[in-house]
Amino acid sequence: MKYNKSNNIDVKKENRNRIYKLICEKERISKPEIAYLLGISMPTVMQNVKSLQDEGLVEEAGVLGSTGGRKAVAISCVENARYAIGVDITRNHISTVLINLTGNIVESIRVSKKYQNTLDHAQEMGKLIDNVIEKSGINPSKILGVGISLPGILSDDGLTLVSSYVLQVTNERFANYQNYIKYPYLLCNDANAAGIAEMWNRNTLKNAIYLSLSNTVGGSILLDNKIYLGENQRGGEFGHMTIERNGLQCYCGKKGCLDTYCSALVLAEHTNGNLADFFDLLKKGDRKIEAVWEKYLDYLATAVNNLRMFFDCSIILGGYVGAYIDEYMAKLKGYIANLNTFEMDGNYVQVCHYKREAAAVGAALLHIKPFIDNI
Ligand SMILES: [Zn+2]
């Protein structure tokens, strides 16, 4: 008897959640359509839509076109019913984004600030969070929390940065944060956060590898829409795959790591550290730059093909280089296809959606996702 009761509550909760997610997915939908698509009775749909409406999570949004008879009222999700904040900390910058329930960036601020685990840095971050809220003009009570993305490996409990080459720290705890952040907050690895952002709104993808091509190479493994961290939180450290035996010296102390061939620095070092200039010259047909790019693509294709062989899923290219790679995809796919044992093309490779702030958005989504899952 008891079992049946809890079972019944679960079904009710699940129905409500399915209705909410369908409204978000379809953008505008009528109640009869919801009932039809989900196989739920009309009274149940009406009751749930009403309660979602009362809570300010969905709203009526005009009428839908009809093929005859009465026009149906359209129901839409209220995108700005809640917000979350994402912070991305790098060696020399702090980025802050405010996103809504759809994952869209409503407001953002990026400032130069050299990383140090000091009161001053934590204070600056707290100030930025307050500023981004003030700039957007939203009611702070609608904020679910803050996600902080860090370039390094975090401890199991997510409270300590075990190691970060970028920030040059080991076993760093962030005790100062609680004094300057007024909202619930959590820490996450930057590449994992960016991977989460890229999976958001790609409804058909369940599994993917995210390869981040920034000043270091990293990535994340998303299986069944969840990050696979590995046994030591190092899953997705693709930058240190050995791509060339006894190859170039890597910052990690080993030789021939992917990082030494495919980081954004490999390109930018030819244009005084400026990646935009590199792609400008490439567009203009600079021979020397073209040769550097060819070599880069060759190693990237090898890495991508290896990842495809390991995981047999889509591979998303992101990071600083990912933001420029769109127009070179045909060429890259050609290289990839040449290496592949089973496939004739490289169509499993995709370009990132977020050309900037993917890590900050992903960190913020760590609050949005559970909120939506629990509606
Ligand atoms: Zn290495």
Ligand 1: centre distance to CA 230 (Å): 18
Q: Is 358 a residue whose pLDDT tops 60?
A: yes
> Is the Cβ–Cβ distance between 120 and 95 less than 8 Å?
no
Q: Is 3 a residue whose pLDDT tops 80?
A: no
Ligand 1: centre distance to CA 273 (Å): 21
Ligand 1: centre distance to CA 327 (Å): 29
> Is the Cβ–Cβ distance between 198 and 208 less than 8 Å?
yes
Ligand 1: centre distance to CA 264 (Å): 15
Ligand 1: centre distance to CA 108 (Å): 33
Angle made by CA atoms 138, 139, 141, in degrees to the nearest 5: 140
- Rounded Cα distance between 193 and 361, Å, is 7
Can you count the helices (H) and strands (E) in the chain?
Answer: 13, 15
Ligand 1: centre distance to CA 265 (Å): 14
For residue 75, what pLDDT band results from cuts at 50, 70 and 90? very high
Please tell me which residue, 177 or 300, carries the higher pLDDT value: 300
What is the average pLDDT across 9-20? Answer: 90
Ligand 1: centre distance to CA 104 (Å): 34
Ligand 1: centre distance to CA 288 (Å): 26
Ligand 1: centre distance to CA 259 (Å): 6
Ligand 1: centre distance to CA 247 (Å): 11
Q: Which domains does the chain have, with CATH numbers?
A: 2-77 (1.10.10.10), 82-196+358-373 (3.30.420.40), 203-351 (3.30.420.40)
Ligand 1: centre distance to CA 262 (Å): 12
Torsion of CA 83, 88, 93, 95, to 10 degrees: -20
Ligand 1: centre distance to CA 106 (Å): 37
Q: Is 2 a residue whose pLDDT tops 60?
A: no
Ligand 1: centre distance to CA 198 (Å): 25
Please tell me which residue, 78 or 65, carries the higher pLDDT value: 78
Ligand 1: centre distance to CA 237 (Å): 9
Ligand 1: centre distance to CA 241 (Å): 7
Ligand 1: centre distance to CA 31 (Å): 55
Ligand 1: centre distance to CA 253 (Å): 6
What is the average pLDDT across 167-178? Answer: 81
Q: What percent of the chain has pLDDT over 90?
A: 73
For residue 157, what pLDDT band results from cuts at 50, 70 and 90? confident
9, 298, 310, 362 from 202: Cα distances, Å: 30, 28, 22, 14
Question: So what's the pLDDT on residue 68?
Answer: 63
CA-CA-CA-CA torsion sign (155, 161, 164, 169): negative
> Is the Cβ–Cβ distance between 258 and 219 less than 8 Å?
no
- Rounded Cα distance between 42 and 33, Å, is 10
Ligand 1: centre distance to CA 294 (Å): 22
Ligand 1: centre distance to CA 242 (Å): 8
Question: So what's the pLDDT on residue 161?
Answer: 87
Q: Is 97 a residue whose pLDDT tops 90?
A: yes
What is the average pLDDT across 327-334? Answer: 95
Question: So what's the pLDDT on residue 104?
Answer: 92
